[in-house]
Amino acid sequence: MNSINQVTVQTGTKVSQTAVVVAPLGRDAELICALLQRSSIECVSVPTVSDAMQRLISAGVLVIAEEALTPRLILELAEVLRNQPPWSDIPIVLLTLPGEVTKESQRRRSLREPLGNVLLLERPSRPETLISSVRSALRARARQYQIRDQMEQYQHAEEALRKSEKLAVAGRLAASIAHEINNPLESVTNLLYLMQSCASDPQMIAYGRLAEQELARVTEIAKQTLQFYREPSPHAPTHVADVLESVLQLYGPRLAGRHVTVEKELQRGAPVTASAGELRQLFANLIGNALDAMRNGGRLRIRTRPAREQAHPRRYGVRISVADTGTGIPQHLRKRIFEPFVTTKGDTGTGLGLWVTSEIVEKYSGRIFLRSSAHPQRSGTVFHVFLPYRSAGNGDAVSETMKAAS
């Protein structure tokens, strides 16, 4: 027998196909349920209409005996029905009292009007009539669940779109700011040079040189920002250790200012085929986050060494670890950390750093994972990155290169 207790709609979501029965007199509820269950229709009986109202959203159909409805309950039920979510219009099968049209029955009919999606079955009704009415109500309800799922899908799609728009806006904004900064930077750099050549006071010359150095850093940052949002630089053999050195240089003053000691263990090894700009972005994000996590000083340890990928021992590449003794990442955050816009830094964070980082790692068929402890006495975080010498598709050539290097 083909059970219709649960209908799987197109989206794969299960929907409720339960008839909720309210029939307070005698054994009515029991008999109705037995009848429906014999026809493979799932059924629960509840004592009052108020109980049925509480199950409204999860019910497939309400089967209500008219005597369970008082005028006050009809008004309450009408109110609950009005407040259903937009997709929901729960079908009600109302088992009316038998008899001729009287003033009383007319009054009851006008009272029921606000109930909407109601099918009247006069008692005594034939079992088949009741079963087929409940079945068609359940079928209509299944369509409503389908609409609910579609509405949810639209909502998700809309959210994703909004996020990607936000990303595009953030990217464009950063690029345009970097671009705007570039021109005055060049002028100030030139002016500083001229001032130094005119100055005779050695102190003035020293200050000028310092200002020039700081400005060079700003120029580098603007250049990197622009580089990232423009087409990345072409793929070329790139030494990860060199990229790390240049990023550390960029962060040097900030690390020193925070009393962070840096321990480097950079084995140069063989180069990876990658865009230097993207690799710089990747490591700048990891080191920048480590710095943010060490407000009161600490230790930053950076290692690179040739390695094989754990899951695919024939894939050779570089393993990089960036470890800090910062605050650590709370357990609940770890799962979501690579999603865009996840940040704990309020207005100063974008939540895009690790997302970009993971995108870059993925682009090069690499792996990234982290270990972290937020324990007060021994807190810290380490990010491990594995970058294959070549991205997927060049496996054999990769192995050969690495074998030669190791």
Ligand X SMILES: Nc1ncnc2c1ncn2[C@@H]1O[C@H](COP(=O)(O)OP(=O)(O)O)[C@@H](O)[C@H]1O
User: Rule CB under 6 A: is residue 324 a binding residue for ligand X?
Assistant: yes
- Distance, CA of 104 to CA of 101 (rounded, Å): 8
What is the distance of C-alpha 53 from the center of its chain? 34
Can you tell me which of 224, 365, 381, 401 binds ligand X, judged by CB under 6 A? 381
* Angle of CA points 299, 302, 304, to nearest 5°: 165
Q: At what angle do helices 28-38 and 127-198 cross, to 10 degrees?
A: 80
Give the C-alpha separation, 167 to 180, whole Å.
20
Residue 344, binding choice from ligand X, Mg ion, none, Cβ under 5 to 8 Å by partner class: ligand X
- Contact residue for ligand X among 226, 354, 361, 387 (CB under 6 A): 354
Query: Amino acid identity, residue 245?
Result: E
Binding of residue 340 to Mg ion (CB under 5 A): no
State yes or no: cis peptide before 184, omega within 30 of 0.
Answer: no
Q: Check residue 327 for interaction with ligand X (CB under 6 A).
A: yes
Cβ neighbors of 189 (< 8 A, separation 6 or more) are 212, 215, 216, 219
With CB under 6 A as the rule, give the number of residues binding ligand X: 22
Q: Closest approach of Cβ 299 to ligand X, in Å?
A: 12
Among residues 208, 269, 298, 326, the one that binds ligand X under rule CB under 6 A:
326
Q: Rule CB under 6 A: is residue 114 a binding residue for ligand X?
A: no
Binding string, residues 266-285; x marks residues near ligand X by CB under 6 A: -------------------x
Among ligand X, Mg ion, none, partner that 91 touches (CB below 5 to 8 angstroms by kind): none
* Least distance CB 380 / ligand X (angstroms): 8
- Closest by CA to 9, choosing from 160, 154, 140, is 140
Would you count residue 337 as binding ligand X (CB under 6 A)?
Answer: yes
**Residue 342 interacting entry, from ligand X, Mg ion, none, C-beta within 5 to 8 Å by type:** ligand X
Contact between 358 and Mg ion per CB under 5 A: no
H-type alpha helices, 17-120:
28-38, 49-54, 71-82, 103-112
Q: Closer CB to ligand X, residue 12 or residue 346? A: 346
What is the spatial distance between Cα 189 and Cα 50, in angstroms, rounded to a whole number?
77
323 counts as binding ligand X under rule CB under 6 A = no
DSSP 114: G
Least CB distance to Mg ion at residue 305 (A): 25
Looking at the Cβ atoms of 87 and 341, the one nearer to ligand X is 341
Given candidates 18, 289, 357, 372, which one binds Mg ion under the rule CB under 5 A? 289
Strand partners, 302: 264, 322
Q: CA of 56: how far to CAs of 17, 46, 372, in Å? A: 12, 12, 45
Can you tell me which of 60, 353, 380, 388 binds Mg ion, judged by CB under 5 A?
Answer: 353
Q: Which residues bind Mg ion (CB under 5 A)?
A: 289, 353
Q: Which residues bind ligand X (CB under 6 A)?
A: 285, 289-290, 293, 324, 326-329, 337, 342-345, 349-355, 381
